[in-house]
C-alpha cells in the first residue's frame, strides 16, 4: 500500500467514524434511531490484478491488503458470532476469515470493489451502532452488546426500520464468510466434502447408505426406486 492511499484511507476512516461513540444513555440507544450509514466516497483500490496468465501452481495475491488492525479485529469477532465453534468445527474467528475478507475487498476487480463499497462502511457502522448503544466500539463491547447489534440486522423477517442498509451489508458479509469458511479444510471437513482425491479404480458411485436414502425419498415422492445393488 502506498503512503498516499494509506493517508487517504485513514482520513476516510476518521470521517465515517466521527460522532459514533459519544453515545448518551444506553436505554435511549436501544430504541433510538440507528447509527447513520456513511456514503462518503471510498478511496479507489489501485493494486494490480494477477493478469491473464498467472502461475497456477504458485498462486499469489499481488494486490496490497487494505484493512487496518481494528477492522480485522471486527471481522474476527463477527466471524466468531457468525460461525461459532461446535463439536464439528472451530469458530470463524480462529480461522483466517479476516484475511480472506481483506484479500477480497482489496482486490482490483468490479465485484470485489462493489463489495468493498458495502463492507467498508458496514464495518464503520458496526462500531458506530455498538457505540451508540453502549458507548464502546464493536471490539471493546461485550458479547451481548455485539449480539444485540447483530440481532437488529441478521434476520430477514426482523429488520427494524432504518436498518435496511446495514442488513444488506450483513447479508453480504454472511455470504462471504460462509464461502470463506466452508472452502477451508476445517469447513470442508464439517460439511462433509470427501472429494479431490485421485482414485486408482473406477468411480464407485453412491454408497449403499446413499442409495437407501435416495430410494426412501423416491418412494415418498411416488417415484420408482432403484435396485439398491
Partner 1 sequence: MVTGLGLSGMPQHRPSPRFEPDVVIVGSGAAGGMAAYALTRAGIKTLVLEAGRDYDPVSESAMLKWNHEAPLRAIPTPDKSFGYYDATVGGGWEVPGEPYTSAPGTTFRWWRSRMLGGRTNHWGRHVPRFGPYDFKGKSRDGLGADWPITYEDIAPYYDRTEKLIGVSGANSGLENHPDSSPGVLQPPSKPRVPELMIQAAAAGLGIPCVPSRYAILTQPIDDAHAPRQACFYATPCGRGCSIGAAFQTTTSLLPMAMGTGKLRIVTNAMVSRVLTDARGRAKGVEYFDRTNGSTHFVAARVVVLAASACESAKILFNSHTAQSPQGLANSSGQIGRSLMDSTGTDITGHIPALEGRPRYNEDGKDNAHLYIPFWLYKEQAAGRLDFPRAYHYEIGGRFEMPGARFGLAGAEDGYGLSLKEDARRYYGAQVSFSVRGEMVPNADSYCELDPDTKDKYGLPVLRFHWKWSDHETRQIAHGVKTAKEIIARMGGRVLTPEMPPEQAIQAGGEIIHEVGTTRMGMSATDSVTDGFGRTWDIDNLVIADGGVFPSNAHKNPTLTIMALSWRSMDHLTMRMRKGDI
Q: Which of residues 118-177 bind partner 1 (CB under 8 A)?
A: 150, 154-156, 171, 174-175
Q: Which of 18, 26, 33, 183 binds partner 1 (CB under 8 A)?
A: 183
Q: How far is the CB of 127 from partner 1 (least distance, A)?
A: 18
DSSP states of 124-158 as a string? HHHHHHHHHHHSS-TTTS-HHHHHHHHHHHS-TT-
Q: Which of 14, 57, 144, 161 binds partner 1 (CB under 8 A)?
A: 57
Q: Which of 22, 86, 161, 229 binds partner 1 (CB under 8 A)?
A: 86
Contact flag: residue 221 with partner 1 (CB under 8 A): yes
Contact of 95 with 181, CB cutoff 8 Å: yes
Q: Name the DSSP letter for residue 63.
A: S
Contact flag: residue 189 with partner 1 (CB under 8 A): no
Which C-beta is closer to partner 1: that of 3 or that of 202? 202
Which C-beta is closer to partner 1: that of 4 or that of 179? 179
CA angle 152, 157, 163 (to 5 degrees): 35
Q: How far is the CB of 131 from partner 1 (least distance, A)?
A: 21
d(CA 22, CA 57): 51
d(CA 79, CA 84): 8
Contact flag: residue 14 with partner 1 (CB under 8 A): no
Instruction: List all residues 6 or more positions away from 85 whose beta carbon is below 8 Å from its beta carbon.
Output: 91, 94
Q: Which of 3, 25, 31, 51 binds partner 1 (CB under 8 A)?
A: 51
Which C-beta is closer to partner 1: that of 111 or that of 144? 111
Contact flag: residue 185 with partner 1 (CB under 8 A): yes
Which C-beta is closer to partner 1: that of 32 or that of 47? 47
The C-alpha cell that represents 197 in the structure block: 482425491
- The total number of residues shown for the chain amounts to 229
Size of the site for partner 1 (CB under 8 A): 73
Which C-beta is closer to partner 1: that of 23 or that of 126? 126
Q: Name the DSSP letter for residue 93.
A: G
Helix (H) or strand (E) holding 13: helix 3-17
Q: Which of 41, 56, 69, 161 binds partner 1 (CB under 8 A)?
A: 56
Amino acid at each position: 500500500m502506498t503512503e498516499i492511499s494509506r493517508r487517504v484511507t485513514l482520513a476516510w476512516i476518521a470521517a465515517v467514524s466521527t460522532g459514533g461513540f459519544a453515545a448518551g444513555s444506553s436505554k435511549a440507544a436501544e430504541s433510538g434511531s440507528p447509527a447513520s450509514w456513511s456514503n462518503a466516497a471510498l478511496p479507489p483500490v489501485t493494486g494490480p490484478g494477477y493478469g491473464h496468465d498467472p502461475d497456477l501452481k504458485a498462486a499469489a495475491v499481488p494486490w496490497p491488503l487494505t484493512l487496518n488492525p481494528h477492522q480485522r479485529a471486527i471481522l474476527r469477532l463477527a466471524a466468531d458470532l457468525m460461525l461459532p465453534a461446535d463439536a464439528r468445527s472451530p469458530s470463524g474467528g480462529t480461522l483466517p476469515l479476516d484475511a480472506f475478507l481483506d484479500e477480497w475487498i482489496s482486490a482490483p476487480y468490479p465485484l470485489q470493489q462493489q463489495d468493498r463499497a458495502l463492507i467498508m462502511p458496514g464495518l464503520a457502522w458496526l462500531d458506530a451502532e455498538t457505540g451508540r448503544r453502549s458507548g464502546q466500539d464493536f471490539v471493546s463491547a461485550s458479547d451481548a452488546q455485539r449480539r444485540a447489534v447483530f440481532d437488529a440486522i441478521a434476520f430477514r423477517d426482523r429488520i427494524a426500520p432504518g436498518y435496511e442498509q446495514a442488513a444488506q451489508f450483513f447479508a453480504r458479509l454472511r455470504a462471504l464468510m460462509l464461502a470463506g469458511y466452508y472452502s477451508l479444510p476445517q469447513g470442508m471437513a464439517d460439511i462433509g466434502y470427501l472429494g479431490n482425491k485421485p482414485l486408482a479404480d473406477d468411480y464407485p458411485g453412491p454408497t449403499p447408505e446413499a442409495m437407501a436414502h435416495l430410494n426412501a425419498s423416491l418412494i415418498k415422492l411416488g417415484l420408482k426406486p432403484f435396485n439398491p445393488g
